[in-house]
């Protein structure tokens, strides 16, 4: 079964907790703190597997969780970091955040993509020893791993997409132009899923043609079957609009042409700008006058027209030559750029609550939104650090520290970030 859509939940591993431990050894007095750091939680990584062609595996498993990092131990032994969880997907899979629709990754190349980052391991108490605090009895907990509800969409990688009403000859064209063998029958919606065929035009010249299930009026809103597969047309470098010029099913070819173009435009306005040529099929079932009248109409709309009888391959070769010629000057198959998650704006933060606790002169500040903020700050960049300080001031974190009794020179610890407080 061809499955091109799935919804799953992914959870990266939590970081291990730092250890509170003290060195104990015979004849060694005051060994001091030696608690080790926790290990990093496992990332969730998506990887392309060329042997997969659908998202069917995700029908049976919806939740994916990476392992947690191990806790730290005594003798400065750090906990083991967890291995990443690798999820295999077919080439062309697009990953979106279900919460806001943000595009997180386009799995069309060979590189792995980290979708959810594992949590950082907490520091052991050995990190907090100072000349004035020689026996710290506290350590940092590990930070939680990222988790997301995801929408997976498979958008086939094809050079040419065939668009048109059901039963106009799309599958027939693919079958005579390539080695693909889609089901062909004289009834609507014979093609229940997209079919890819490689068209070879000679040594070193070939392109991939996609037979998309037939569209009908209202497809962009969910009518018929084609709406389920319109997403596969989005990547195509060009379109071939196949029209039954004979009107053998009682429809007007000109109206068919208008309806399909409008469906493509409504689904994605960019499709209306995609290079397209028009193939008039079933020319043997109508008069030459009707074919020529339709040719004048199509060319008047600004498109090249190619009459054919796909079942006997008449007129197919000139069409394929034109497709190959156009593809030679078109950009490669489109890859969608991930949409970066914006830095949280201070004036838009609704959940800016923080938990402040004081242990041995260190003020620990925690908050889920702070963790997300820190992950996006580059502390080697001066302007980024300035932004971080501004957020702390505008969200009331600095005021909360003052209310907690902090004094100048005291240490502030926000997860992995430590600094001395300055009034």
Q: Fill in the DSSP letter of residue 422.
A: -
Q: pLDDT at position 267, please?
A: 81
**Which of the four pLDDT bands, split at 50, 70 and 90, describes residue 97?**
very high
Q: Is the pLDDT of residue 219 over 90?
A: no
Query: Looking at the structure, do residues 18 and 124 belong to the same domain, yes or no?
Result: yes
Residues 193 and 313 grouped into a single domain: yes
**Whole-number pLDDT of residue 125:** 86
Residues 263 and 183 in one domain: yes
Residue 118 belongs to domain spanning: 1-154
Question: Global pTM?
Answer: 0.69
Per-residue confidence (pLDDT) for residue 350, from 0 to 100: 47
Q: What is the CATH number of the domain that holds 395?
A: 3.30.300.350
Q: In what order do the strands lie in the sheet with 85-89?
A: 85-89, 44-48, 113-116
327, 355, 387 - which closes a domain? 327
**Same domain, yes or no, for 224 and 266?**
yes
86 with 13, same domain: the answer is: yes
Q: Is 171 helix (H, G, I), strand (E, B) or coil?
A: helix
Same domain, 172 and 111: no
Judge if 170 and 306 occupy the same domain: yes
Res. 346 pLDDT band, cuts 50 70 90: very low
Sheet holding 411-414, edge to edge: 355-359, 362-366, 411-414, 417-420
Q: Which of 154, 181, 212 is the last residue of a domain?
A: 154
168 and 142 share one domain = no
Which of 154, 185, 207 marks a domain boundary? 154
Residue 289: is it exposed, middle or buried by C-beta count within 10 angstroms (0-12/13-18/19+)? exposed
Residue 334 inside a domain? The answer is no
pLDDT digits (tens, 9 = 90+) for 150-187: 999 988 778 898 888 888 888 889 889 888 776 665 54
Out of 36-45, 326-335, 377-386, least confident range: 377-386
Alpha carbons 224 and 231: distance in angstroms, whole number: 15
The domain tally of the chain equals: 3
Query: Quick one: 276 and 130 in the same domain?
Result: no
- Cβ proximity of 207 and 236 under 8 Å: no
Distance CA 152, CA 302 (A): 36
In a domain, 332, yes or no: no
Residue 31 has pLDDT above 80, yes or no: no
Q: What is the CATH number of the domain that holds 190?
A: 3.40.50.300
For residue 361, is it within any domain?
A: yes
Task: Say yes or no: 272 and 297 in one domain.
Answer: yes
- The per-residue pLDDT for range 278-292, each reduced to its tens digit, is 999 999 888 889 999
Asked if 249 and 169 sit in the same domain, the reply is yes
Do residues 148 and 200 both lie within one domain? no
């Amino acid at each position: 079964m061809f499955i091109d859509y799935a919804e799953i939940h992914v959870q990266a591993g939590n970081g291990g907790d730092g250890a509170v431990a003290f060195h104990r050894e015979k004849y060694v007095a005051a060994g001091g703190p030696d608690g080790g750091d926790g290990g990093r939680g496992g990332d969730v990584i998506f990887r392309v597997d060329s042997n997969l062609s659908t998202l069917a595996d995700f029908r049976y498993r919806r939740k994916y969780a990476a392992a947690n990092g191990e806790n730290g131990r005594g003798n400065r032994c750090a906990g083991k970091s967890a291995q990443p969880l690798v999820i295999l997907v077919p080439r062309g899979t697009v990953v979106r955040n279900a919460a806001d629709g943000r595009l997180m990754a386009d799995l069309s190349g060979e590189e792995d993509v980290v979708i959810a980052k594992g949590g950082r391991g907490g520091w052991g108490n050995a990190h907090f020893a100072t000349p004035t605090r020689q026996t710290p009895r506290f350590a940092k907990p590990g930070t939680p791993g990222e988790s997301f509800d995801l929408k997976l969409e498979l958008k086939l990688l094809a050079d040419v997409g065939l668009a048109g009403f059901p039963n106009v000859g799309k599958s027939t064209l693919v079958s005579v132009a390539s080695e693909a063998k889609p089901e062909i029958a004289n009834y609507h919606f014979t093609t229940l899923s997209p079919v890819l065929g490689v068209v070879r035009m000679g040594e070193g010249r070939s392109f991939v043609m996609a037979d998309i299930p037939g569209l009908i009026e209202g497809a962009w809103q969910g009518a018929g079957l084609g709406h389920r597969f319109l997403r596969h047309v989005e990547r195509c470098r060009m379109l071939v609009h196949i029209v039954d010029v004979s009107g053998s099913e009682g429809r007007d070819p000109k109206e068919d042409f208008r309806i399909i173009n409008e469906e493509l435009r409504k689904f994605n306005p960019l499709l209306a700008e995609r290079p397209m040529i028009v193939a008039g099929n079933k020319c043997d079932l109508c008069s030459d006058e009707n074919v020529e009248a339709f040719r004048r109409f199509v060319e008047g709309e600004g498109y090249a027209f190619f009459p054919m009888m796909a079942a006997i391959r008449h007129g197919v070769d000139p069409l394929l030559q034109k497709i190959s010629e156009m593809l030679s000057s078109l950009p490669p198959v489109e890859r969608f750029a991930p949409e970066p998650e914006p830095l949280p704006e201070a004036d838009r933060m609704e959940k800016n609550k923080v938990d402040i606790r004081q242990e041995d002169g260190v003020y620990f500040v925690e908050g889920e939104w702070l963790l997300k903020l820190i992950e996006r700050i580059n502390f080697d960049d001066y302007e980024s650090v300035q932004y971080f300080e501004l957020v702390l001031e505008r969200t009331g974190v600095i005021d909360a520290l003052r209310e907690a009794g902090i004094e100048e020179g005291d240490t502030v610890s926000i997860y992995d970030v430590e600094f001395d407080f300055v009034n």
